[in-house]
């Protein structure tokens, strides 16, 4: 049996204590293992153990502690994450809550057709894409810049301080952040005060009341909240760069900016590429909380995004069918984008999401 332990190196074979199988293995099992060992010796059996239902059940039985530790959560997963998918059927019905599933009237793609003729939905779609696009470009540019600047710091204590401070807004809730943004941008807030003192404006601007400003406010707010947090991955990647590269560049007379441009940036390129591709996969996710919390009646044309649309139609107006159709559209497009992104990343030979 010891021979088997060494010969069969597939993970599955490490399953149970092969060091002492004879003491515990049942007779049947011992037979199977001996057969297996014989097969191995003659080279006819592939290194994988026999994969019949029977052996699967035997293994299942032997691994009962692992089953006990995971199956309850599989059931949880099924109920909370997979059962809701059933709700998608409602998007194809003229849903009436009082009726049972079989009594609903089926309307095919009517709700989807309605959505794409609905001016409000198209506007919401535009807002979603615009804001996630802003998020993507601005998020990347600022985080990479900040990471580069932090990486150039030689004072460890100061670097640590900047990092700790810059992580702070990431941890506070959007409720608090939105409150802070509101206060800062209010007519008697600090921004207006500074602009007035500088003489750039003559009277206060109601920033959140001007629809066209909303995307910029959203972009600035998101950067304020997450720029520090987003540097973590880049800074980690920068520590992996071989210091010899910097020394060689310095010998060649490369100045600070040249080193940043020719050594640091290429060094973190793989990470940038992966994150960029992954983020393209999240283009339909422009966030919900900032838009909901900072949005108001005046800027609604620019602040309302898909998630808010779903919430308003679904919960406030109880138009479940239309709302689910909109949500379903979002999920499916996201799924396709993510899948494509993951495959592109795979083809480029970079790390993947899973």
> Considering only residues 37-96, where is the footprint of other proteins by CB under 8 A?
56, 59-60, 63, 65-67, 69-71, 73-74, 76-88, 90
Q: How many helices and strands, by DSSP H and E, does the chain display? A: 18, 2
Nearest to other proteins of 42, 188 (CB atom)? 188
Rg (CA), the chain: 29
Is there binding between residue 202 and other proteins (CB under 8 A)? Answer: no
Is there binding between residue 143 and other proteins (CB under 8 A)? Answer: no
* Nearest distance in Å: CB 166, other proteins: 6
Q: Are strands 105-106 and 93-94 parallel, antiparallel or unpaired?
A: antiparallel
Nearest to other proteins of 46, 84 (CB atom)? 84
Nearest to other proteins of 3, 168 (CB atom)? 168
Residue located via tokens 């808010």: 308
C-alpha to C-alpha distance for 227 and 223, rounded to whole angstroms? 5
Q: Where does 26-178 show beta strands of DSSP type E?
A: 93-94, 105-106
Is there binding between residue 152 and other proteins (CB under 8 A)? Answer: yes
* Nearest distance in Å: CB 134, other proteins: 19
Nearest to other proteins of 44, 151 (CB atom)? 151
Is there binding between residue 141 and other proteins (CB under 8 A)? Answer: no
Structure tokens at 175: 């409720």
Q: Considering only residues 290-319, where is the footprint of other proteins by CB under 8 A?
A: 293-294, 296, 298, 307, 310-311, 314-315
HSE-up (13 A, CA, CB side) for residue 329? 24
C-alpha to C-alpha distance for 11 and 247, rounded to whole angstroms? 44
Is there binding between residue 178 and other proteins (CB under 8 A)? Answer: yes
User: How is 99-153 classified by DSSP, letter by letter?
Assistant: S-GGGSEE-TTHHHHHHHH-HHHHHHHHHHHHHHHHHHHHHHHHHHHHHHHHHH-
Q: How many residues does the chain have?
A: 354
Nearest to other proteins of 167, 215 (CB atom)? 167
Is there binding between residue 194 and other proteins (CB under 8 A)? Answer: no
Is there binding between residue 196 and other proteins (CB under 8 A)? Answer: no
Contact stretch for other proteins (CB under 8 A) within 32-40, 127-135, 168-176, 211-219: 168-176
Is there binding between residue 183 and other proteins (CB under 8 A)? Answer: yes
Is there binding between residue 288 and other proteins (CB under 8 A)? Answer: yes
CA 10 → CA 5, 24, 36, 87, distances in Å?
10, 21, 13, 42
Contact stretch for other proteins (CB under 8 A) within 31-39, 110-118, 122-130, 159-167: 159-167
Residue 285: CB atoms within 10 A of its CB come to: 18
* Nearest distance in Å: CB 79, other proteins: 8
Number of residues binding to other proteins, judged by CB under 8 A:
112
Residue 56: CB atoms within 10 A of its CB come to: 12
Is there binding between residue 216 and other proteins (CB under 8 A)? Answer: no
Binder of other proteins out of 275, 277, 283, 284 (CB under 8 A): 275
Residue located via tokens 């952040």: 177
* Nearest distance in Å: CB 115, other proteins: 14
* Nearest distance in Å: CB 35, other proteins: 20
Structure tokens at 149: 């600047």
The C-alpha angle 275, 351, 240, rounded to 5 degrees, equals: 80
Is there binding between residue 248 and other proteins (CB under 8 A)? Answer: no
């Amino acid at each position: 049996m010891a021979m088997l332990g060494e010969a069969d190196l597939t993970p599955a074979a490490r399953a149970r204590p092969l060091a002492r199988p004879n003491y515990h293995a049942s007779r049947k099992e011992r037979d199977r293992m001996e057969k297996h060992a014989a097969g191995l010796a003659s080279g006819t059996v592939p290194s994988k153990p026999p994969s019949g239902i029977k052996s699967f059940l035997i293994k299942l039985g032997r691994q009962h502690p692992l089953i006990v530790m995971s199956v309850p959560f599989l059931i949880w997963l099924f109920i909370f994450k997979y059962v809701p998918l059933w709700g998608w059927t409602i998007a194809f019905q003229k849903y009436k809550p009082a009726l049972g599933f079989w009594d609903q009237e089926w309307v095919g793609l009517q709700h989807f057709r309605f959505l794409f003729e609905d001016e409000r939905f198209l506007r919401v779609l535009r807002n979603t894409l615009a804001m996630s696009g802003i998020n993507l470009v601005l998020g990347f540019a600022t985080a990479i810049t900040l990471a580069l600047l932090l990486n150039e710091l030689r004072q460890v204590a100061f670097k640590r301080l900047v990092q700790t401070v810059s992580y702070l807004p990431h941890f506070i809730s959007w409720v608090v952040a939105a409150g802070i943004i509101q206060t800062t941008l209010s007519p008697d807030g600090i921004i207006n005060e500074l602009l007035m003192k500088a003489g750039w404006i003559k009277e206060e601007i109601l920033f959140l009341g001007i629809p066209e400003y909303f995307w910029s406010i959203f972009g600035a707010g998101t950067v304020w909240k997450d720029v520090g947090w987003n540097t973590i991955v880049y800074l980690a990647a920068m520590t992996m760069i071989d210091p010899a590269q910097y020394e060689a560049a310095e010998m060649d007379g490369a100045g600070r900016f040249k080193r940043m441009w020719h050594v640091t940036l290429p060094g973190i390129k793989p990470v940038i590429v992966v994150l960029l591709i992954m983020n393209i996969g999240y283009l339909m996710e422009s966030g919900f909380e900032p838009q909901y919390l900072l949005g108001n009646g005046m800027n609604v044309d620019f602040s309302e995004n898909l998630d808010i649309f779903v919430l308003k139609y679904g919960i406030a107006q109880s138009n479940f069918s239309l709302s689910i159709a909109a949500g379903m559209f979002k999920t499916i497009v996201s799924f396709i984008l993510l899948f494509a992104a993951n495959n592109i990343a795979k083809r480029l030979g970079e790390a993947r999401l899973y």
